[in-house]
């Protein structure tokens, strides 16, 4: 059980135009001794934006007189609402509800200092309430899930290599693949974290060899021969997930596929 103490009202609306009607739905993140609060601010014409203040010992010590995020694009033209924030590998990721006057979607922004945010666009599919209502009322749960996965696009970079560990002629491919797929809306669907590399390697080998056989580039006898090798020539490596913005980790991994060939 958690002990919860009522600190009373911390923040109220002001006479400033962007928060003259109300303030609500805050999210907080503590950095050192300072708590950074981001809250939904509502103007008298019912347009929401994200306000910002700092607290120490549950008392406001600094508060901006303008919103830290405000509507700029068509998909959020009627309001930016209900912020949520996390800190991942030296960067703050804020998600918020983007409202266009008819439909609400999820958007995000990033910052390195909790103050200057750069918008990243929509995260959720561009789907209207009416269309979502029809989908979720009329089809079973499996199809509901599959709706957002249809027509997804994988992401990978391949590099041709012509030598192996002993510098002998050994043509093969090095491939960097995203651990998920992109939808046509631009949304990225990440896989689960616990990927079984051994099983994925078997599936990868099966798919590639089956494709080559369909194209009549190899025979069943060749597949049986390759499958009998101690090292099949296929390898899948996946350890720690690399998140967006992790430039050093991305660069180190990318170096592997660009070794000069001959």
Q: pLDDT tens per residue, the chain (262 residues)?
A: 678 888 888 899 999 999 999 999 999 999 999 999 999 999 999 999 999 999 998 899 999 999 999 999 999 999 999 999 999 988 999 999 999 988 888 999 999 999 899 999 998 877 776 776 666 666 554 454 455 555 678 888 888 777 666 666 777 788 888 888 887 667 777 776 677 888 888 888 888 888 989 998 989 888 888 888 877 778 888 777 777 778 888 887 777 776 654 4
Given the structure tokens 């030296």, which residue do they identify? 90
Q: Which residue matches tokens 């120490």?
A: 56
Q: Is the dihedral of CA 14, 20, 25, 26 positive or negative?
A: negative
Instruction: Compute how many other C-beta atoms are within 10 angstroms of the C-beta atom of residue 108.
Output: 19
**pLDDT at residue number 141:** 47
Reading the block at residue 13, the tokens are 């609306």
Are 38 and 85 spatial neighbours (Cβ–Cβ below 8 Å)? yes
Going from N- to C-terminal start, the domains of the chain cover 17-124, 153-258
Residue 252: what pLDDT? 78
Return the number of other C-beta atoms located less than 10 Å from residue 60's C-beta.
Answer: 14
Tokens of 188: 């990225």
Map residue 186 onto helix, strand or coil: coil
Cβ–Cβ < 8 Å for 99, 125: no
Nearest to 128 by CA among 101, 153, 146, 109: 101
> Exposed, middle or buried by CB within 10 Å (0-12, 13-18, 19+), for 68?
buried
State residue 261's pLDDT score.
44
In a 3-state reduction of DSSP, which class is residue 135? Answer: helix
Q: Is the dihedral of CA 224, 230, 233, 235 positive or negative?
A: positive
Is the domain 17-124 a CATH 1.10.275.10 member? Answer: no
114-129 as b/e: b if 16+ CB within 10 A = beebebeebbbbeeee
């Amino acid at each position: 059980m958690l002990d919860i103490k009522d600190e009373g009202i911390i923040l109220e609306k002001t006479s400033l135009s962007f928060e003259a009607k109300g303030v609500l739905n805050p999210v907080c993140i503590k950095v050192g001794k300072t708590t950074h609060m981001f809250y939904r601010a509502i103007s008298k014409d019912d347009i929401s934006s994200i306000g910002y203040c700092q607290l120490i010992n549950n008392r406001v010590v600094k508060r901006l007189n303008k919103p830290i995020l405000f509507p700029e694009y068509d998909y959020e033209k009627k309001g930016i609402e209900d912020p949520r924030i996390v800190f991942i590998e030296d960067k703050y990721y804020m998600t918020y509800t983007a409202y266009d006057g008819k439909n609400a979607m999820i958007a995000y922004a990033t910052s390195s200092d909790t103050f200057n945010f750069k918008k990243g666009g929509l995260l959720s599919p561009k789907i209207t309430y009416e269309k979502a209502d029809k989908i979720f009322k009329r089809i079973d749960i499996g199809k509901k899930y599959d709706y957002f996965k249809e027509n997804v696009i994988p992401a990978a970079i391949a590099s041709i290599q012509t030598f192996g560990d002993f510098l002998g002629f050994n043509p093969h491919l090095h491939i960097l693949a995203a651990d998920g797929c992109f939808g046509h809306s631009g949304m990225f669907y990440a896989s689960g974290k616990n990927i079984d590399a051994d099983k994925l390697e078997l599936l990868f080998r099966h798919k590639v060899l089956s494709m080559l056989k369909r194209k009549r580039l190899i025979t069943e006898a060749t597949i049986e021969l390759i499958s009998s090798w101690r090292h099949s020539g296929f390898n899948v490596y996946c350890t720690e997930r690399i998140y967006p913005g992790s430039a050093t980790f991305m660069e180190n991994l990318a170096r592997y596929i660009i070794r000069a060939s001959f």
